[in-house]
Structure 1
Amino acid sequence: MTDEEIKQEQDPVSEVQDALGFDDAGKSLAKALRLSFVILKIVMVILVAFFLVSGIFEVKEDEQAIVLRFGEIQGIGKDRVLGPGLHFAWPEPIDEIVALPVKRVQPLAINSFWYYESPSDKLRAQARFGKTLNPAKDGYCLTANDSIAGAGTSDYNIVHAQWILDYTIDFPERFFRNVYYRAPKPGEDFIDVMAETVNPLLEAMVADAVVATMVNYTIEEAIKSKTYIARDVQRRVQQKLDSIGSGIRVVTMQAKKITWPRQVDADFQQSNKAKQESQKQITEAKSYAEKTLNEAGGFEAEEVLAALEDTTIIGDQRLLQFLRLAGTAQEMLADAKAYKTKVVETAKTNADYLQKLLPEYQKRPKLVLQEIYRSAIEEVLAGADEKIFIESSGGGKARELRVLINRDPSIKRTKTKEKDQGGL
Structure 2
Amino acid sequence: MSWNEPGGGKKDPWSGQEPGGSPPDLEEIIRSLQEKIGRLFGGGGGGAAASAFVVWALVGIVFILWLLSGFYIVDEGNRGVVTRFGRYTETTMPGLHWHIPYPVEAVDIVDVEHQRFLEVGYRTGVGSVPQEALMLTGDENIVDVRLAVQYTISSARDFLFNINDPEKTLREVTESALREVVGQHTMDFVLTEGRSEIAADVKKLVQQIMNSYGSGIAVETVNLVDAQPPEEVQAAFEDAIKAREDKQRFINEAQAYANEVIPKARGQAARILEEAQGYKQKMIAKAQGEASRFEQILAEYEQAPEVTRTRLYLDALEAVFSKTETIMVDVKGGNNLLYLPLDRFKAAPAPNLPHSQPVLSGPAAAQQMLQRQPLRRVVRSREGRGR
Report the TM-score, using the length of structure 1 for normalisation: 0.61
Where 1:164 maps in the other structure, the secondary structure is strand
CA separation of 1:211/1:373 partners in 2, compared to 1, >3 Å: closer, same or farther? farther
CA separation of 1:52/1:352 partners in 2, compared to 1, >3 Å: closer, same or farther? same
Residue 114 of structure 2 corresponds to residue 100 of structure 1: no
Q: Which has the higher contact order (CA 8 A, sep 6+)?
A: 1
> Is the contact made by 1:385 and 1:411 (CA closer than 8 Å) also made in structure 2?
no
**Residue in 1 aligned with 2:283?**
343
Where 1:213 maps in the other structure, the secondary structure is helix
Residue 163 of structure 2 corresponds to residue 179 of structure 1: yes
Within the candidate set 239, 243, 260, 2:208 is matched to 239
**Residue in 2 aligned with 1:311?**
none
- Decide which structure has greater helix share: 1
**Residue in 2 aligned with 1:223?**
191
Computing the radius of gyration over CA atoms, which structure comes out larger, 1 or 2?
Answer: 2
CA separation of 1:249/1:290 partners in 2, compared to 1, >3 Å: closer, same or farther? same
Residue 219 of structure 2 corresponds to residue 250 of structure 1: yes
**Residue in 2 aligned with 1:213?**
181
Q: Which amino acid aligns with 1:141?
A: M
User: Matches of 1:373 and 1:210 in 2, distance apart?
Assistant: 101
Deviation by residue 1:133-158 (Cα, 9 ceiling, x = unmatched): xx98684122232xxxxxxxx5xx32
Residue 65 of structure 2 corresponds to residue 65 of structure 1: no
User: Matches of 1:252 and 1:332 in 2, distance apart?
Assistant: 60
1:127-138 to 2 correspondences below 5 Å: none
Unpaired segments ≥5 residues, structure 2:
1-41, 336-340, 349-360, 363-387
**Residue in 1 aligned with 2:95?**
85
Q: Which amino acid aligns with 2:291?
A: A
Deviation by residue 1:191-233 (Cα, 9 ceiling, x = unmatched): xxxxxx2222111111121112123433232223323321221
Q: Which amino acid aligns with 1:81?
A: T
User: Matches of 1:269 and 1:389 in 2, distance apart?
Assistant: 93
- Decide which structure has greater strand share: 2
The structural deviation recorded for 1:173 is 2.3
Q: Which amino acid aligns with 2:191?
A: I
Within the candidate set 298, 303, 306, 1:358 is matched to 298
User: Matches of 2:159 and 2:286 in 1, distance apart?
Assistant: 96
User: Matches of 1:246 and 1:137 in 2, distance apart?
Assistant: 25
The structural deviation recorded for 1:263 is 2.5
User: Matches of 1:265 and 1:381 in 2, distance apart?
Assistant: 89
The structural deviation recorded for 1:410 is 3.6
**Residue in 2 aligned with 1:166?**
150
**Residue in 2 aligned with 1:379?**
319
User: Matches of 1:118 and 1:99 in 2, distance apart?
Assistant: 31
The structural deviation recorded for 1:100 is 1.4
The structural deviation recorded for 1:102 is 0.5
User: Matches of 1:283 and 1:64 in 2, distance apart?
Assistant: 57
The structural deviation recorded for 1:341 is 2.6
RMSD: 3.7
Unpaired segments ≥5 residues, structure 1:
1-26, 75-79, 127-134, 146-153, 181-196, 298-326, 396-406, 419-424
Residue 233 of structure 2 corresponds to residue 264 of structure 1: yes
CA separation of 1:278/1:344 partners in 2, compared to 1, >3 Å: closer, same or farther? same
Residue 63 of structure 2 corresponds to residue 48 of structure 1: yes
The structural deviation recorded for 1:87 is 0.9
CA separation of 1:28/1:118 partners in 2, compared to 1, >3 Å: closer, same or farther? closer
The structural deviation recorded for 1:174 is 2.6
User: Matches of 1:384 and 1:215 in 2, distance apart?
Assistant: 92
The structural deviation recorded for 1:238 is 1.0
**Residue in 2 aligned with 1:142?**
136
User: Matches of 1:198 and 1:365 in 2, distance apart?
Assistant: 120
Worse-superposed segment, 378-387 or 338-347: 378-387
User: Matches of 1:55 and 1:40 in 2, distance apart?
Assistant: 23
Aligned residues: 301
The structural deviation recorded for 1:168 is 1.0
User: Matches of 2:257 and 2:205 in 1, distance apart?
Assistant: 44
